[in-house]
């Protein structure tokens, strides 16, 4: 009874993975679900799709592993973060579709907050910049635009949650309305110093506190999965937002350790320990996944379009039939032929923070082929991540630390050798891919395992981490600087008004 089940609810698919105590994958199941685009800049999910696909994959993963609920010591949950769900407490039905973290509809509400002079207050209390990326203005939009929502919320009839909270509510049959500190810190409503929902911010956005879940450490008792779902009672012992979970799964437990996750977006986090440090270079400060005890922080840079650019090549341009084909297409040419793609499909995140920017392709010639565009698309992922690391290293130096010595990587696109080598070339430091690349789900499993007693301490988890492949930089530093200059020139063109 030492197996751990991780539920990994992502932006484009739901996955479930069974791990053994050594952190090895025993079985996995995955299902994609529908993406909803009602208007330009709007992105939605049906919350029922998130729940049903997650449940289906959990059952399938157990079946593939030949296990039952009785073999599972604990369940861990990791999730797409700022995505906002509101539902009726009595019926359990959502009042509208979930508003996804990529959605930009609440930017006018963000502009109003800036005009009211709340930027510094929000930055100091939450570590976040005012942006439609975070949950607060998404929730505010729902209360304002969904008929009857505000009156129901004020009457205590509605519940709000990020995706972890929605899944826990369903898994426990409505018995638990909870979240963890890492997800709470992404709402723009949570004071990361006091570790509580902030009354001043709730008042500023006119959000009833009764809607909000109880906040727990990332490794804690989040309730029991009702027997009807998996065939027996199983304790939920760990919860963390996907990026904090990946930082935990990469065994980045100490200050100065960093990872980059290459998923739908790209998310680079550097552990800051117990020190809250406000970035001067376009990053945000967030709560790290943590055990009971003092608050832990991390610096984070968020790229909105990472692996999603490959999905765009597949579904938008029909350049490839499957995402795995992109490496072969990109490698069919020696370089991008001067083409630079800035995939600002939903604006640019850190360190640029330009919500109105839109994507462009520069350097097109008569000789440009789809292979050049595919290579430029892959390179855009590395360029954006390199800009994050430059900002992160500068923040580290400003606060008396040292530039990063290595970058640990994970996520689906981290399996692409061409991309990882180009990333190392741009950064000038080793890029380390772990032996177990499913570190987002692994982090949730580790958090659950710590609560359930499978592991005694963080030292146990550090001992389990293994490097799979190290990509050493091979590009001349002058050439790398020239390539980054090309990228920044293209960004300036994209952001020009």
Residue 311: closest CA among 327, 303, 323, 302: 323
Between the alpha carbon of residue 81 and those of residues 100, 164, 379, the distances in Å are 9, 8, 26
pLDDT value for 304: 83
At residue 278 the predicted structure's pLDDT band, cuts being 50, 70 and 90, is confident
pLDDT digit string, tens, across residues 299-347:
998 888 888 899 899 999 999 998 888 889 998 999 999 999 999 988 8
What is the spatial distance between Cα 47 and Cα 50, in angstroms, rounded to a whole number? 5
**Does the structure show a pLDDT above 70 at 497?**
no
**Does the structure show a pLDDT above 80 at 401?**
no
At residue 479 the predicted structure's pLDDT band, cuts being 50, 70 and 90, is very high
pLDDT > 70 fraction of the chain, expressed in percent and rounded? 99
pLDDT value for 1: 66
Sketch the domain layout of the chain as residue ranges: 3-242
pLDDT > 90 fraction of the chain, expressed in percent and rounded? 76
At residue 168 the predicted structure's pLDDT band, cuts being 50, 70 and 90, is very high
Interior angle at CA 172, CA 168 and CA 178, nearest 5:
40
User: Per the structure block, which two tokens stand in for 343?
Assistant: 């995939």
Is residue 113 within 8 Å of 130, Cβ to Cβ? yes
pLDDT mean across residues, the chain? 92
Which residue blocks in 43-128 are alpha helix, DSSP H? 47-65, 107-115, 119-126
Residue 168: closest CA among 97, 99, 88, 222: 222
pLDDT value for 390: 86
pLDDT digit string, tens, across residues 411-451:
888 888 989 999 999 999 999 999 988 899 999 999 999 99
Helix (H) or strand (E) holding 328: helix 326-331
What is the spatial distance between Cα 62 and Cα 71, in angstroms, rounded to a whole number? 9
What is the spatial distance between Cα 298 and Cα 135, in angstroms, rounded to a whole number? 19
CATH architecture of 3-242: 2-Layer Sandwich (3.30)
User: How much is the average pLDDT of 222-228?
Assistant: 96
User: How much is the average pLDDT of 469-485?
Assistant: 94
pLDDT digit string, tens, across residues 182-195:
999 999 999 999 99
Which has more confidence, 441 or 284? 441
pLDDT digit string, tens, across residues 85-125:
999 999 999 999 999 998 999 999 999 999 999 999 999 99
């Amino acid at each position: 009874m030492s197996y751990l089940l991780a539920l990994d609810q992502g932006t484009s698919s739901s996955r479930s993975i069974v791990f053994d105590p050594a952190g090895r994958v025993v079985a996995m199941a995955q299902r994609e679900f529908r993406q909803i685009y009602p208007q330009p800049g709007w992105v939605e999910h049906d919350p029922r799709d998130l729940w049903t696909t997650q449940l289906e994959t959990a059952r399938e993963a157990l079946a593939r592993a030949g296990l039952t609920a009785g073999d599972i010591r604990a369940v861990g949950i990791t999730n797409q973060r700022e995505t906002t769900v509101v539902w009726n407490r009595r019926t359990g039905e959502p009042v509208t579709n979930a508003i996804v973290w990529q959605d930009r509809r609440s930017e006018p509400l963000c502009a109003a907050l800036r005009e009211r002079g709340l930027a510094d207050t929000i930055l100091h209390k939450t570590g976040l910049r005012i942006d439609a990326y975070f949950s607060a203005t998404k929730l505010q939009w729902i209360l304002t635009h969904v008929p009857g929502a505000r009156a129901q919320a004020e009457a205590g009839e509605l519940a709000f949650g990020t995706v972890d909270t929605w899944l826990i509510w369903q898994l426990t049959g409505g018995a638990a309305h909870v979240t963890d500190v890492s997800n709470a810190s992404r709402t723009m409503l949570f004071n990361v110093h006091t570790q509580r929902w902030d009354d001043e911010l709730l008042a500023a956005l006119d959000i009833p506190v009764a809607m909000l879940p109880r906040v727990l450490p990332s490794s804690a008792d989040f309730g029991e999965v009702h027997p009807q779902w998996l065939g027996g009672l199983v304790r939920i012992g760990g919860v963390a937002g996907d990026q904090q979970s990946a930082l935990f799964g990469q065994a980045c437990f100490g200050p100065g350790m960093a990872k980059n996750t290459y998923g739908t977006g790209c998310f680079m986090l550097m552990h800051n320990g117990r020190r809250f440090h406000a970035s001067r270079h376009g990053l945000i400060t967030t709560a790290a996944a943590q055990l009971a005890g003092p608050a832990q922080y991390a610096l984070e840079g968020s790229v909105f379009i990472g692996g999603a650019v490959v999905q765009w090549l597949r579904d938008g341009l029909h350049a490839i039939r499957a995402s795995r084909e992109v490496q072969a297409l990109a490698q069919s040419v020696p370089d991008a032929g001067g083409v630079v793609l800035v995939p600002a499909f939903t604006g640019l995140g850190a360190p640029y923070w330009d919500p109105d920017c839109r994507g462009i392709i520069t350097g097109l010639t008569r000789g440009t082929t789809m292979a050049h565009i595919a290579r430029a698309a892959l390179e855009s992922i590395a360029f954006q991540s390199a800009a994050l690391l430059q900002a992160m290293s500068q923040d580290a130096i400003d606060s008396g630390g040292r530039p990063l010595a290595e970058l640990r990587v994970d996520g689906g696109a981290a399996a692409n050798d061409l991309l990882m080598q180009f990333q190392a070339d741009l950064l000038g430091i080793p890029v380390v891919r772990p032996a177990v690349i499913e570190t987002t789900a692994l982090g949730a499993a580790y958090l659950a395992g710590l609560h359930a007693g499978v592991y005694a301490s963080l030292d146990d988890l550090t001992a389990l981490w293994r490097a799979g492949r190290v990509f050493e930089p091979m590009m001349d530093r002058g050439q790398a600087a020239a390539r980054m200059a090309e990228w920044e020139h293209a960004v300036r063109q994209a952001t020009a008004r």
